[in-house]
Amino acid sequence: MAAAPFATPQLKGYPVIPLVQQGAMAHSKPFVASAPIQKALGFPEELVENWQDKAIAKMGELLGKYRSLRVYMDTCVHCGACSDKCHYFLGTGDPKNMPVARQDLMRKVYRRYFTFAGKYFPWLVGAVDLTKEVLDDWYSYYNQCSECRRCSVFCPYGIDTAEVTMAAREIMASVGQGQKYSNEIIGKVHRIGNNLGIPAKALENTLEGLEEDTKEATGVDVRFPLNVKGAEVLLVTPSADFFSEPHVESLIGYAKVFHAAGISWTLSSHASEAGNFGLFIGNYDQMRDISMRVREAALELGVKRIIVGECGHAWRVAYNFWNTLIGPFDFLDQRYPVPQHICECTYDLIQRGALTFDREANDGRIITFHDSCNVARASRMGGMPGGQFIIPRAIIKAVANHFHDMAPETIREQTFCCGGGGGLLTDDLMELRVKGALPRMEALKSVVDEHGVNFMATICAICKAQFSKVLPSYGFEMEMIGGVHQLVGTAIRLGSPK
């Protein structure tokens, strides 16, 4: 890769707020979406001529539609509580990566065009015109936010920078300045059904291969069914689960759970993606169109339950938005959560004694758990407060003997993003990804040094891909990262081979 070289930050034994380095990441920006990519989503093919007017009009529209955005623009008192809470600031030292500064990029434009003072006395309230320089700054720094919401946990007013970022991206895409990585992927979902662009025939071939592999490894006929009408469960999972390591290990884990519990299930080639990058670009139409494939597949196959695999933002979309976007789900079995997370399903089976494990099979692993931001701060599990933290950990402890949490200020609702979330998991942002992983890597190093941790489990495809890539930069093995259901799959008893 012909990227400019950069230095990986040093891991320190304790967290340090970095010295401010003005403009340290001003050069970081992802590739702009090309004309065909933009066109496929109905966005202008390039920056339109009257982009400034269009952008301001769009901003007005969003301020009207989302009251929260206007409240966020108005209420910040610049107390600074959020400023050292963002992993991208902590990893890069660039003051524009302080959440409040990121919001201010929009706030100063908001004030200029949407407040009385800013219209007539812009110099008094720090209001600025939306110039090309400002737009370039937006493109750079709104693509240095993973929409993880960590900052909002510390803001006394609950201001959510992630929503500001989403609005900014939506505005930029609508004037022709979309981001290549996310928009290309969304186009593939519309065309083929998943982020990777795996056609049905390839999916079938891949799943057959997994049946062979699992049979070879266990002696048991564990099925990986595709497009089976009348199955009880439709499993919707990130397409990386079909394609990549370590993701596929979790897919094998889900299949083993269904096998052991005797639940009939199926995947769908129409809805072969749980991920929904419409969220990342702040566009509800895209989010609905992507989600709709799940409803269509569920109806077509006549399933009774929908279960979502290990994907952080997919769970946020499913948990928070599916009912509004693609509901009602009156055709599903209401005795189960609609939708249900695979961890809820496995946890429930464990509680009922329906699964048994050889925990010793995981004895080579000393495990910690990385909470993924969208699960931790934007959803729940199990209908109990904190269920999204309790359930994955309870599963790990049921299937393995050695577990150690990382420092409390780096997990649960205060978890640090992996550094690659929110549509930033792309090669052209590698410097940002490596540096943004710093706070998590420091927390990991502590448990590695103290407890000999050698495995970090997570329930998100982006986290898995991001850590596989950045762990080696910090001197760790890439095999340290894996899924919760990878651990389940290792220990689960399948009954006697047939």
Partner 1 sequence: MAFELNGKVYETDEEGYLVNLADWDEDAAKYIAGVENVEMTENHWEVVNFLREYYNDYQIAPAVRVLTKEIGKKLGAEKGNSKYLYELFPYGPAKQACKIAGLPKPTGCV
- Contact residues toward partner 1 (CB under 8 A) are 1-2, 31, 180-181, 184-185, 188, 194-199, 201-202, 205-206, 209-210, 213, 238-240, 242-245, 247-248, 275, 311, 425, 427-428, 461-462, 464-465, 469, 478
**Pick from 396, 260, 391: nearest CA to 315:** 391
In whole angstroms, what is the distance from residue 340 CA to residue 97 CA? 35
Min dist CB 16 to ligand SF4, Å, is 17
In whole angstroms, what is the distance from residue 10 CA to residue 33 CA? 34
Residue 248 interaction partner, one of ligand SF4, partner 1, none, beta carbon < 5-8 Å per kind? partner 1
Considering beta carbons, is residue 69 or 391 the nearer one to ligand SF4?
Answer: 69
| Two structure tokens written together for 383 | 């209908």
Considering beta carbons, is residue 29 or 259 the nearer one to ligand SF4?
Answer: 29
Residue 159 interaction partner, one of ligand SF4, partner 1, none, beta carbon < 5-8 Å per kind? ligand SF4
In whole angstroms, what is the distance from residue 13 CA to residue 164 CA? 33
Residue 234 interaction partner, one of partner 1, ligand SF4, none, beta carbon < 5-8 Å per kind? none
Task: Provide the phi-psi class of 417: left if phi over 0, else alpha when psi is between -120 and 50, else beta.
Answer: beta
Considering beta carbons, is residue 430 or 453 the nearer one to partner 1?
Answer: 430
Amino acid at site 470: V
**Beta bridge mates, 235:** 307
Min dist CB 317 to ligand SF4, Å, is 17
List interacting residues with ligand SF4 (CB under 6 A). Answer: 76-82, 85-86, 88, 99-100, 102, 145-151, 155, 157, 159, 161-162, 165, 417
Query: How distant, in Å, are the alpha carbons of 109, 305, 338, 485 from that of 331?
Result: 46, 9, 11, 28
State the DSSP code for 454. -
Task: Provide the phi-psi class of 32: left if phi over 0, else alpha when psi is between -120 and 50, else beta.
Answer: beta
- HEC secondary structure over 394-419: HHHHHHCCCECCCCHHHCHHHCCCCC
Min dist CB 436 to ligand SF4, Å, is 8
Considering beta carbons, is residue 202 or 390 the nearer one to partner 1?
Answer: 202
Residue 102 interaction partner, one of ligand SF4, partner 1, none, beta carbon < 5-8 Å per kind? ligand SF4
Min dist CB 224 to partner 1, Å, is 11
Considering beta carbons, is residue 344 or 442 the nearer one to ligand SF4?
Answer: 442
Considering beta carbons, is residue 137 or 213 the nearer one to partner 1?
Answer: 213
**Pick from 322, 326, 285: nearest CA to 174:** 285
Min dist CB 245 to partner 1, Å, is 5
Residue 80 interaction partner, one of partner 1, ligand SF4, none, beta carbon < 5-8 Å per kind? ligand SF4
Residues 277 and 291 sit within 8 Å (Cβ to Cβ): no
Sign of CA pseudo-dihedral 418, 423, 424, 426 = positive
Residue 99 interaction partner, one of ligand SF4, partner 1, none, beta carbon < 5-8 Å per kind? ligand SF4
Min dist CB 104 to ligand SF4, Å, is 9
Q: What's the N-to-C CA distance of the chain in angstroms?
A: 48
Min dist CB 236 to partner 1, Å, is 14
| Neighbour count for residue 383 (Cβ, 10 Å) | 8
Residue 10 CB burial class (10 angstroms; 0-12, 13-18, ≥19): exposed
Residue 427 interaction partner, one of ligand SF4, partner 1, none, beta carbon < 5-8 Å per kind? partner 1
Residue 213 interaction partner, one of ligand SF4, partner 1, none, beta carbon < 5-8 Å per kind? partner 1
Considering beta carbons, is residue 196 or 342 the nearer one to partner 1?
Answer: 196
Residue 365 interaction partner, one of partner 1, ligand SF4, none, beta carbon < 5-8 Å per kind? none
Considering beta carbons, is residue 180 or 288 the nearer one to partner 1?
Answer: 180
